Amino acid sequence: MASTTVEKQPKYMNADELSNFFIDVLEGNLSITLDEIISENDLERQKVLYGLHTLHEELNFEKERRLKLHEDIKAAFLNISSVVLLNKDWEIEEANGNFLNFTNRPLDSIEGFSLNDLLEIGDKTTENWNALKISIENNSSWQGILGFKKSKTKVGWLDVKAIVLASGKYHQEQIWLIGKDITDEIELEQELKETNQNLRDSLDQKEFLLRELHHRVKNNLQMIASVFVLQLQTEKDEKLADHLQTIQTKIFSISKLHDILVEQASLNNVDLLGYLKAIAENLQISTGFKGEIYLEGDYFEISTQSAPHFGIILNELITNSTKHAWTSNSTENEIRVGIYKEPDNLVFHYADNGKGFNKNEVTRGLGRKLLDMLILGQFKAVELQCGENEHSNCLCFKIDLANIN
């Protein structure tokens, strides 16, 4: 440390002289060597000078420590990520190599520019830029994403942390932006959004076409069913008319599924109980059944592949009951259908309160063969005992859920 000769002070300094002496020490304009203090003959003056020397050295040490700390922090930040140093007017004073590489600009081309000149024009960047300025004005840190113009057509993105520091070099406020390049992540996210949107558009188009297909199939089946109805109105052969009606109700069972699929959101599954209720209501009208049909049970969604099979099963059972279960003067006729879901099985229960029959004495006609084909063959169901005696009008079976959907 360079030394200067201190002009000898009188033994007793007045207030003004002492004040000026302290100011010189505090501002760093006075340097006093220990040799000068030791050579001082005046003991009182020596004590004062020694105290001032100690204070001066401590102040210098603290300023050097702060400056070194600032420079160390600055050096550390300049070697990581992208760093920009701004003055309080948001003008660029310094930037590290990472930021210059990120923006594809040399320092002399952006030094003194407002940071806003480098930002891309966009709603998100504008919103975050305004939030950043408000935070800094309130002396608070801020973190968010900013877009920077890398060229006329290309934009880069930084995840920025903004802080306010006092510069030890310039004794003024500085704003530091420390950013991580997330351009690849942002571009990938944008590509995924575009891809997902294209997939949604494609799916919507396919769903529309599939609904249109269900609608047309329903219309075609209903047209065929209407032809059968017209034929029934003129057919005099009762046996043939009976066959035509049976076919017509089966066609309706299938067309009703397409009708439901057109109306509901899902095109893959259908509420089984709701579907069977619609079939039962149609059969009650088409067969002229004067009794009641009750359907109850658990909500169960079934695939569109399996639903028509249940529709045909119910169609066959109700048609058979309306033909054979009661005499012409029977009253309080009832049909009860239940769908019950178990952890691993679906239980189907059907019964009427008709006169009953002996299963062992009934010829296995086309209807029974059709039921066996669907229940035992298609669903691999296990038939359950549900009546109190062999003449009970009841059919009960359970199906492993794995064999349904």
Task: Give the pLDDT confidence of 292-308 residue by residue, as tens digits.
Answer: 999 999 999 998 888 88
Query: What separation in angstroms does the CA of 126 have from each of 131, 161, 163, 196, 199?
Result: 9, 16, 19, 27, 31
> How is residue 115 annotated by DSSP?
G
Contact 201, 193 (CB under 8 A): no
Which of 53, 76, 99 is the endpoint of a domain? 76
299 with 364, same domain: the answer is yes
Mean pLDDT, residues 150-176 taken together:
75
Report the first-to-last Cα separation within the chain, whole angstroms.
91
Closest CA to 359 of 342, 346, 372: 372
Helices (H), 79-182: 97-103, 107-110, 123-137
Q: Are 318 and 369 in contact (CB under 8 A)?
A: no
Q: CB within 8 A of 400, min separation 6: which ones?
A: 344, 345, 380
Does residue 147 share a domain with residue 55?
no
Is 33 domain-assigned?
A: yes
Q: CATH number, domain at 173?
A: 3.30.450.20
Q: Do residue 143 and residue 46 come from a single domain?
A: no
| Whether the predicted pLDDT of 286 surpasses 70 | yes
Q: In this structure, is residue 382 part of a structural domain?
A: yes
Distance of CA 126 to the CA centre of its chain: 26
Model confidence at 203, in pLDDT bands (50, 70, 90)? confident
- CB neighbour list of residue 345: distance below 8 Å, 6 or more residues apart: 398, 399, 400, 401
Last residue of a domain, one of 54, 76, 98: 76
Q: pLDDT, tens digit, for every residue of 363-383?
A: 566 777 888 888 888 889 888
At residue 205, the 3 state secondary structure works out as helix
Q: What is the pLDDT of residues 100-146, one digit of tens each?
A: 888 888 888 888 888 888 888 788 888 999 999 898 888 888 999 99
Range of the domain at 144: 81-181
Question: Per the structure, how many domains does the chain have?
Answer: 3
For residue 292, report the phi and psi dihedrals to the nearest 5 degrees. -115, 145
- Domain presence at residue 167: yes
Average pLDDT over residues 23-50: 68
* β-bridge pairing 82-86 and 173-181: antiparallel
CA dihedral (227, 228, 232, 233) in degrees, to 10, reads -20
Q: Are residues 85 and 66 in the same domain?
A: no
Residue-averaged pLDDT of the chain: 80
Region 308-312: mean pLDDT is 89
Asked whether residue 387 falls in the same domain as residue 303, the answer is yes
Residue 109 within a domain: yes
Write down the residue that tokens 């057919």 correspond to: 235
What is the pLDDT, as a whole number, of residue 388?
A: 57
> Last residue of a domain, which of 155, 181, 207?
181
Average pLDDT over residues 43-68: 75
Residues 98 and 70 in one domain: no
Which of 60-64, 164-168, 267-271 is the most confident on average? 267-271
Give the start-end residues of each E strand in 167-281: 173-181, 269-271
